[in-house]
Amino acid sequence: MRRGRTDSRPGVAPGVSVTVRHGDAADRRFIEELAERTVMASVASFRHPQEMMVHFALTRLLETVETQSHVTLVAEREGRRAGFLLLLDDLPDEVTSTPQAFVAYMAVEPELQRQGIGKALLEAAEREAKRRGLPYMSLMVTEENTAARSLYASAGYFTERQLLCKEL
Ligand SMILES: CC(C)(COP(=O)(O)OP(=O)(O)OC[C@H]1O[C@@H](n2cnc3c(N)ncnc32)[C@H](O)[C@@H]1OP(=O)(O)O)[C@@H](O)C(=O)NCCC(=O)NCCS
């Protein structure tokens, strides 16, 4: 799959194209590095997270995704890797058992954010889910992660359940 689009919104040079393609083994290092550089933005300060432990959990997540049925999407901007999305396509909802696609993690290069790349990745993931006959897309996001929450809200996602927490 290669979907191109020309973005003409403010902040994006006219004519700059963003394409989303399937990832392969050659993208693995890019995905690991970008995930490492961005993961702290996606965790709550509430639990006073230690960077080392977050990175450990991230490694475990990436390994878990590898062992499950998934789709890797890589966004390129002017031929250069700019972001990725890891989509689990066989992870039914744990409460209702409804089939769904689940975004395990996504990230965009910090200097290329706010240029529509996250949106393009999410749209491509939704197309992939629909192609597989999956009726829902689901994901988890930290309350403090304003950028990600805004992206998902603008794409039509709403809160189905909440993870409640209290410091003891
Ligand atoms: C979340 C993330 C992937 C968004 O990627 P992005 O390419 O910057 O997103 P887009 O440019 O496609 O944004 C689309 C819309 O989302 C919203 N949005 C994105 N970033 C935002 C921000 N920092 N503040 C407010 N709204 C934001 C806006 O509505 C935006 O549309 P607009 O630019 O026309 O206003 C990126 O911020 C990121 O990589 N964050 C670190 C990793 C992370 O948190 N991943 C998510 C884990 S759940």
Domain ranges of the chain: 2-154
Distance 117 CA to ligand 1 centre (A): 8
Bridge-partner residues for 3, per DSSP? 20
Q: Please determine, looking at this structure, whether the domain spanning 2-154 carries the CATH number 3.40.50.1820.
A: no
Greater model confidence, 9 or 43:
43
Average pLDDT for 33-59: 95
**Interval 121-148: pLDDT, tens:** 999 999 999 999 999 999 999 999 999 9
C-beta 6 within 6 A of ligand 1: no
So what's the pLDDT on residue 137?
Answer: 98
Residue percentage of the chain with pLDDT more than 90: 88
So what's the pLDDT on residue 8?
Answer: 38
| pLDDT level of residue 16 (50, 70, 90 thresholds) | confident
> Parallel, antiparallel, or unpaired for β 80-88 and 137-139?
unpaired
Query: What is the pTM assigned to this prediction?
Result: 0.93
So what's the pLDDT on residue 139?
Answer: 98
Which of 34, 114, 121, when mutated, tests ligand 1's pocket best, judged by the most ligand atoms within 8 Å of its CB? 114
Query: Is a pLDDT exceeding 90 seen at residue 3?
Result: no
Nearest protein Cα to ligand 1, atom 33: 114
What is the Cα–Cα distance from 99 to 138, expressed in whole angstroms? 10
Q: How remote is the C-alpha of 108 from its chain's centroid?
A: 8
C-beta 114 within 6 A of ligand 1: yes
| pLDDT level of residue 6 (50, 70, 90 thresholds) | very low
**Interval 55-105: pLDDT, tens:** 999 999 999 999 999 999 999 999 999 999 999 999 999 999 999 999 999
So what's the pLDDT on residue 14?
Answer: 57
Kindly report the average pLDDT of the chain as a whole number: 92
Distance 66 CA to ligand 1 centre (A): 25
Nearest protein Cα to ligand 1, atom 15: 151
